[in-house]
Amino acid sequence: MVMVEAYKKWVLVSLLEHKKSIALPNVVTAQTAKIYRSLARPYIALATSFDEDNYERLKIDIDVGRSIWQTDNNTGLVFQVMEKFRSAAILRLGRSFAALTVSDVAAHVSLSSISTKEMESFLASLITFGVMNATLFHSCDKSSKTTLRFLMKTSGLSAAQELRAHKRLLQEAHLLRVLVDNIMQSNHVLELSSEHIEDLRKTQRRVENGAKGNSDMPIGGEVSEFDFDEDMMGDLH
């Protein structure tokens, strides 16, 4: 039974990863594969509807098998399969149309039952996560419908990638401005420090020059003994 449960997940993951059913590995014999398929018929039916691009049938298969998906703990994977089907159907529209209104997109992929707002949100999520290279155009005229414009595939960046790159550039520009401000502030501090050091040097030189000049002058008012003797001899004569 463990292998059967693994096979059920294999079917779902194949649809998510490859957008179609894929064959089992060669190590699984034809007889074993037949047993797996017989024990996982609801999953095979779901995969068949997916491969045939039959949205209405896929929706019925998912609704009918709700209790099965829940018992097998595969409800999350099944809902992801539905989302994958919708996104794949919308992507195929880009091969035939350059632009469509949101309501027309819903009609082409058999999603007319959901509201335009829900469809627009779904399309926005596909664009944001890079699943689809397109843009949503909102007219200034409120009476006009929102339009989905498919972008041509190029070697450049997708719309979502360009948005992420733009955000990174803004972040890097902000960091660069902060760095420049810090450098300018540091330079200002260094300039003040240099001026302070130069003032100290000038003061020190003035002190040294003043001390040197005083040492060359005689001590104020003192008369040497030799000069006094000469004066006395002059008086005697």
* pLDDT tens string 192-221: 566 666 776 777 777 777 666 655 555 454
Do 44 and 8 have their domain in common?
A: yes
Could you tell me if 36 and 101 lie in one domain? Answer: no
Cβ atoms within 10 Å of 177's Cβ, excluding its own = 10
Answer yes or no: is 237 within a domain: no
Domain that holds residue 178: 156-205
* 210 or 24: which leads in pLDDT: 24
- Which is higher by pLDDT, 179 or 221? 179
Q: Which distant-in-sequence residues (6+ apart) come within 8 Å of 112 by Cβ?
A: 103, 106
**In terms of domains, do 49 and 118 share one?**
no
- Domain assignment present for residue 213? The answer is no
Asked whether 98 and 147 are in contact (CB, 8 A), the reply is no
Q: Give mean pLDDT, residues 46-72.
A: 93
The residue with tokens 């502030």 is 185
- Cα distance from N-terminal residue to C-terminal residue, the chain: 147
Same structural domain, 77 and 1:
yes
Is the pLDDT at 223 greater than 50? The verdict is no
pTM (whole model) above 0.75: no
pLDDT tens digit sequence for 139-162: 777 667 888 998 876 545 555 566
The reply to whether 211 falls in a domain is: no
Does any domain span residue 219?
no
Q: Is residue 210 part of a domain?
A: no
The number of domains in the chain is 3
110 and 186 within one domain:
no
DSSP state of 28: S
Task: Determine, yes or no, domain membership for 214.
Answer: no
